[in-house]
Structure 1
Amino acid sequence: MIDVNIGMRIQNIRKSKNLKVTELAKMAYISQPYLSDIERGRTTPSLDKLQTICEALDISLGDFFGNASEFSPELIQLLENIKRLTEEERTHLAHFIEAIVNRQDT
């Protein structure tokens, strides 16, 4: 399980808007199995995909993660820089960050 919190949050918002998985998947231009995997925490969407899902749910990324004002300017800049990376570069970055976090946990 990669990130249950993101998936659970998507699922809770989807249900609060009375949307079926198939409906949200269609609105977000993603497959229903992919959305199901996200909601179950089996996979984590890229920032671009999460933004698309949020747009389909009619919420901002800031609202999705809580209060946008809680983000430091450095974190906002980091997210903006990540948006400019290619999908492959984001994948490498995600693996790098995961390796650092896992190393700190041991």
Structure 2
Amino acid sequence: MYEDFVPERIAKLRIQKGVSARDMSLSLGQANNYINNIENKKSLPSMQAFFYICEYLGVTPLEFFDDGNENPEALQQFIEEGRKLSPEAMQHILHLMKDLNNK
């Protein structure tokens, strides 16, 4: 199960970040085909490498495995900005979100 999930999730999050597999590999200090090999299911990252991958992608390991969260980096930013809102503004945003989800 996770043998397929991990490579697919890395590819999805990498594409959302807008970087190539080669650039990500090199940014992680690996050979230029490192991420490509993972995404093509030729290898899996070690635990330490997995943590570096999560850090690079801007997600926690928990967010990485939360496949119901399609865009964890954007959700983190949304929550961070939401924390800055006044209680009244937060209620307005919440109502707007509910309206948008009901359409």
Which category describes the TM-score, using the shorter chain as reference length?
Answer: 0.5 to 0.7
Deviation at 1:14, TM superposition (A): 0.3
User: 2-side partners of 1:3 and 1:52: how far apart?
Assistant: 18
Q: Is it true that 1:12 corresponds to 2:12 in the alignment? A: yes
Amino acid at match of 2:41: G
Larger radius of gyration between Structure 1 and Structure 2: 2
Relative contact order higher in (CA < 8 Å, ≥ 6 apart): 1
How far 1:24 sits from its partner (Å)?
1.0
Give me the whole-angstrom Cα distance separating, in 1, the residues matched to 2:22 and 2:7.
15
Aligned to 2:44: 44
Could you state the TM-score of these two structures normalised by the residue count of structure 1? 0.56
Gaps of 5+ in 1: 68-106
Matched ranges for 1:88-103 at <5 A: none
Tell me the TM-score normalized by structure 2. Answer: 0.58
RMSD of aligned residue pairs (Cα, Å): 1.8
| Paired-residue identity, % | 23
